Amino acid sequence: MKKLGLYKKEKLCSTCAIDKLFGPGGADFSRLAYPLRAVARPDEARKSDAPVAFLISVPKKRLRHAVDRVQMRRRIREAYRLNHRDFATDPALRLDLGFVYVANAVLPYATVEKAIRRILEALAEKYPAQQ
């Protein structure tokens, strides 16, 4: 049985890595799958043994109420948790991944999950697993 948990080592917490990811010339991969935008870049300097470190951003400009931002962050995290093991990338590659919510309203979980799956499919095509 697959383990479906998310661990601390899979969260992108480093401010330097986040600045590199969203800074000029930082993202190697960028994809919009409404209501999410994903940006990613390889990070060879990261010492974590997790192949992908991710972060979720729900801007206050998009959703004004904190309750709505937290609800969307939880839906995005849950969709990622359930689907990220299905799309294998190169295990030797260390990848920083950021999800940014771009919709102006709270959307249902099914919409978010479809967007996550499209993003992960595109990510698996960009960085295929070595066989």
Of 12, 34, 45, the C-alpha closest to 118 is: 34
pTM of the model: 0.92
Q: Which residue has the tokens 């993202």?
A: 27
Question: At residue 71, does pLDDT exceed 60?
Answer: yes
Q: What is 8-126's CATH number?
A: 3.30.230.10
Is the pLDDT higher at 91 or at 12?
12
Cα(16)–Cα(19) distance, integer angstroms? 5
Domain ranges, ordered by start, for the chain: 8-126
Question: At residue 1, does pLDDT exceed 60?
Answer: no
Cα(43)–Cα(24) distance, integer angstroms? 15
pLDDT tens figures, 10-46: 999 989 999 999 999 888 999 999 999 999 999 888 7
Strand partners, 40: 29, 97
